[in-house]
Amino acid sequence: MNHPIKFQPGYLSLFFLTVLFSCQQTVEKQKVAEAPAGKIAIVIHGGAGTIKRENMDSLLETAYRQQLNTALDTAYSILESGGASCDAIMAAITLMENSPLFNAGKGAVFTATGENELDASIMSGSDLNAGAVAGVKTVRNPILAAYQVMTNSPHVMLAREGAEQFAEEQGLQMVDPNYFKTDRREEQLTRIIKKEYGTVGAVAVDQQGNICAATSTGGMTNKKWGRIGDSPIIGAGTYANNKTCGFSGTGHGEYYIRAAAGHDVSALMEYKELSVHEATQAVMDKLSAMNAAGGMIALDNKGNVAMPFNTSGMYRGYKREGETAVVKIFADER
């Protein structure tokens, strides 16, 4: 007995082509339906901690505000001219890494043995691609090395000498380890001083609705034994997903790793449908319950920005389409 389909492969191909075409139509339709409002936005932080108005020298305060404004303006102009969110945040973070004010790049904190060991990571929310470097001592801008790991290697995280060798092969600027040393951070190692996490981070959404997030740090003062914190760990200190948000954390990194802070914010938005404000606050509350000090920045694909923290201050700021830039330091500026 003849089987009508078996002997007519033409029908079969037609059937599969029709199915394929209608699937593609559905994907296209979903893409359009999911398209964001199209507002570009950038949010940055320069670390949280015991940052009090009464202890802050006015010249230093001005320098911080200026540096945050410059980083915001630089990143925003990239987004405004149609640039990618990853390029915008790398520009902001590179500026902060080059500034001795922050615990990232030049001005990073000292390890127990008087060295500077730097960590950085970046994640692209459009394809969940990510890159990170940990414990590098000679890469001038660790964030650029993290980006190279994401885009030019089959890996997500490279550490120490291997990461340095890779960065050099990618043509990045290498420096003598002494380049990172500043008197201010050396003094912090020898004195018991106020707890301050000066890690830098940035999250942006571009005209295509793509979110990118990144974090760069020297880690924690007096760290020992090759300690790596949350900043280079995807899902802890950095996370991005176009469907939910981009995230960058600052604070006592061990707790951010244990709380899987960045991924937790994203998961609360994806599975519980919380807003970016509700999700970041929920994770901030979880960290506070663990006695963890710190803060976080996040934004969603509509440009909604959240910047919660549980310390007396956090260097922070954002700029959204059609609005002037906002820069804040102290908790009472909320």
User: Would you tell me which residues interact with ligand ASP (CB under 6 A)?
Assistant: 47, 103, 197-199, 217, 219-220, 229-231, 237, 250-251, 253
Q: How far is the CB of 112 from ligand ASP (least distance, A)?
A: 14
Quick one: 158 or 228, whose CB is closer to ligand ASP? 228
* Dihedral Cα 183, 64, 173, 224, nearest 10 deg: 50
The question of whether 199 is a catalytic residue gets the answer: yes
Token look-up 């000498």 returns 161
SS3 content of the chain, % helix, strand, coil (to 5): 40, 25, 35
Quick one: 229 or 262, whose CB is closer to ligand ASP? 229
- Rg (alpha carbons) of the chain, rounded to whole number: 22
Quick one: 76 or 315, whose CB is closer to ligand ASP? 315
Quick one: 117 or 206, whose CB is closer to ligand ASP? 117
β strands within the chain, DSSP E: 41-49, 118-124, 129-136, 157-159, 200-205, 211-217, 238-240, 245-251, 294-300, 305-306, 313-320, 326-330
User: Would you say the C-alpha torsion 64, 299, 80, 106 has a positive or negative sign?
Assistant: positive
Q: How far is the CB of 231 from ligand ASP (least distance, A)?
A: 5
Q: How far is the CB of 200 from ligand ASP (least distance, A)?
A: 9
* Dihedrals phi, psi of 320, to nearest 5 degrees: -120, 155
> Given 94, 199, 217, 311, which residue is catalytic?
199
- Which region, left, alpha or beta, applies to residue 316 given φ > 0 means left and ψ of -120 to 50 means alpha? beta
Q: How far is the CB of 47 from ligand ASP (least distance, A)?
A: 5
Of all residues in the shown chain, the one whose CB is closest to ligand ASP is 253
Q: How far is the CB of 248 from ligand ASP (least distance, A)?
A: 10
DSSP state of 161: H
Quick one: 121 or 199, whose CB is closer to ligand ASP? 199
> Which residues participate in catalysis according to the annotation?
199
